Amino acid sequence: MPLGYYRSHALNVQQPDWLRPSSTEWRSNVQVGYETDARYFTLLNRLSMDYRRRGFQGADHFQYNWRLRYMVRIEKEVLGIFSDVKPVTFTLFDEVFFQFGDAVKYNKYIFDQNRLYLGASYEILRNTTLSIGYAYGFQMRPSGDQCDNLNSLYVALAFDNLFSQFSWQKSNF
């Protein structure tokens, strides 16, 4: 996504943590990837750069930072699970994060996060995909001497080229 708005509750570990205020973030992104078909799967290498403007509780202004992300990803399409023509796509990836900028300038390390993901996706309607996955990650605290383990369940409904679903098909007559 080239532009996004996020609202998150960071590091909810105990029940009272749910009551802590959330942070907001505006994020823009550019990325480049190289995809190749191997014998039994598809391999993708992706490098992306995020520009983040984050609003933290107690701060009177948004703080910015840049985040460089590198991902290596393997995808395998399998026919015959739900349909003989539309495959279920299984995905495994590892992604590392490097941050720099105003919001993270006092952090001990620029490398602060790693995410390992396993999931599956299926095109339920034309250009509409349902994805379900699990991600394990760890994230360094700003001090650099503590690390948090993150377990996340992802459920996403993605609309690829949304407006093309409503276009009329051109006739060859």
pTM, to two decimals: 0.71
Return the SS3 of 16: helix
**pLDDT (tens digit, 9 = 90+) per residue, 13-65?**
666 666 777 777 788 889 999 999 998 999 999 999 988 887 766 666 667 78
- Predicted confidence band of residue 97 (pLDDT cuts 50, 70, 90): confident
CA distance 154 to 120: 10
Q: How many beta carbons lie within 10 A of that of residue 166, not counting itself?
A: 6
* 132, 119 Cβ separation under 8 angstroms: yes
What six digits make up the tokens of 169? 């098909």
